[in-house]
Amino acid sequence: MSTHDLYTIPAGLSTWNVEMAGASRFTWEYDDGRDRMLALYQKGKDKQWDSARRIDWDLEVDPYNVLGVPDQTIAIHGTPLWERMSPAVRQDVRLHGAAWQFSQFLHGEQGAMICSAKIVESVPDLDSKFYAATQTMDEARHAETYARFLQEKVGLAYPINEHLKSLLDSTLSDSRWDMPYLGMQVLIEGLALAAFGVMRDITTKPLPKQILSYVMQDEARHVAFGRMALRDHYRGLSDGELREREEFVIEGCYLMRDRLRGRETWENLGLSKAEVDEAMEATDRSDYLRAFRSLLFSRIVPCVKDIGLWSPRLRQAYADMGVLEMAGQSLDALMRQDEEIADRIDAERFAAEEESRHAEVAETIALGAES
């Protein structure tokens, strides 16, 4: 089935052409490079995995409750609009909400694949080219995984959100080699990583938990890559150059914040314009979504601070968004946690499979003895 058959609303052209700027850079310096970057590159090689084999695709998913979470996580839950909805419409709210969320993950992963490929082309250092090449493969695997999840388990998809598309356009069309790092590794990947983490921690369903955990294990390395490269580069920039990057970050963070509202899901549920407006007002007032939105900046804010973009103007923007306190988060601790959770899921799965095999062997032996 074509993915276009799954889209709730027309996705437009089958391809989106972004006019890219900047140079493809070769380097003739083949020395060992930075130890930290090469260690990350080695880890990127060691941690490659196959989506078709590592993930248990036989696990069932209820498309009307993909994550297995209570309705209190829905922005309009408990509002007069929610109370007026029939059980069938509420089911559609759950389905479309999950389809929209995972569709944006899918489109973001394709954007990350293209951005990391551009980094391979444009970054001047060979050790960064090495790592970005492993990330390009990671992002291809993530896009493959989310596409399969939507096609086989959800059965519905949404086109790319206009705010995510705008940030990708700005990131890819900029001629400066560091902008794909800043737009993708810091902003889009940082927000996605935090969203994956919230959903990974609240879901009661094993298949989405596997997917989110395994993808996060890769994404944690990608954010570390961006931190390393940009921290080194930004030490040498002028105040004017740093201010330009800060403006890009502020605009990008507002785009990412607005992306979370998901107006198109409500517009596609057959609600009247007044009801769509009512849903958006409830979304903006939702205590759950306010906390969720704040958590989504738990990776971006400390990363921006760490790479050296931390002027009073930028801090004020984060204060206005209500996320300034996230600057105290430890990215290294979060990254270790992401690694450990994925490894623990693997260990539990493989232990269960081994126990099942032992039981099967014992049963076969017992049957043989009885005969």
Does residue 20 belong to any structural domain of this protein?
A: no
363 pLDDT higher than 90 = no
Q: Percentage of the chain surpassing pLDDT 70?
A: 92
Does residue 208 belong to any structural domain of this protein?
A: yes
Which among 100, 94, 114 has a CA at the least distance from the CA of 16?
114
pLDDT tens digits, 262-278? 889 999 998 999 999 99
pLDDT at 366: 59
Q: How many CB atoms lie within 10 A of CB 98?
A: 26
pLDDT tens digits, 211-237? 999 999 998 888 888 888 899 899 999
371 pLDDT higher than 70 = no
Quote the CA–CA distance of 17 and 48 in Å, as a whole number: 29
327 pLDDT higher than 70 = yes
DSSP category for residue 74: S
Quote the CA–CA distance of 358 and 275 in Å, as a whole number: 57
DSSP category for residue 14: S
Q: Output the six-digit token pair for 115.
A: 């951005």
Mean pLDDT, the chain, whole residue set: 88
pLDDT at 260: 74
Question: Higher pLDDT residue, 2 or 77?
Answer: 77
Q: Domain span at residue 229? A: 3-10+33-370
Distance in Å from the first CA to the final CA of the chain: 50
What is the average pLDDT across 342-363? Answer: 72
Does residue 128 belong to any structural domain of this protein?
A: yes
Question: Higher pLDDT residue, 350 or 339?
Answer: 339
pLDDT tens digits, 92-129? 999 999 999 999 999 999 999 999 999 999 988 899 99
Quote the CA–CA distance of 253 and 249 in Å, as a whole number: 6
Does residue 18 belong to any structural domain of this protein?
A: no
Does residue 233 belong to any structural domain of this protein?
A: yes
Question: Higher pLDDT residue, 241 or 290?
Answer: 241
Does residue 112 belong to any structural domain of this protein?
A: yes
- Dmax (CA) for the chain in angstroms is 85
Number of structural domains in the chain: 1
Q: How confident is the model at residue 192 (pLDDT cuts 50, 70, 90)?
A: confident
Question: Higher pLDDT residue, 290 or 356?
Answer: 290
50 pLDDT higher than 60 = yes
Reported pTM: 0.86
Does residue 25 belong to any structural domain of this protein?
A: no
pLDDT at 130: 93
CATH code of the domain containing 205:
1.10.620.20
Which among 242, 185, 44, 46 has a CA at the least distance from the CA of 127?
44
Does residue 27 belong to any structural domain of this protein?
A: no
Q: How confident is the model at residue 367 (pLDDT cuts 50, 70, 90)?
A: low
Work out the burial of residue 368: count CB atoms within 10 Å of its CB; fewer than 13 is exposed, 13-18 middle, 19 or more buried.
exposed
Q: How confident is the model at residue 135 (pLDDT cuts 50, 70, 90)?
A: very high
DSSP category for residue 307: T
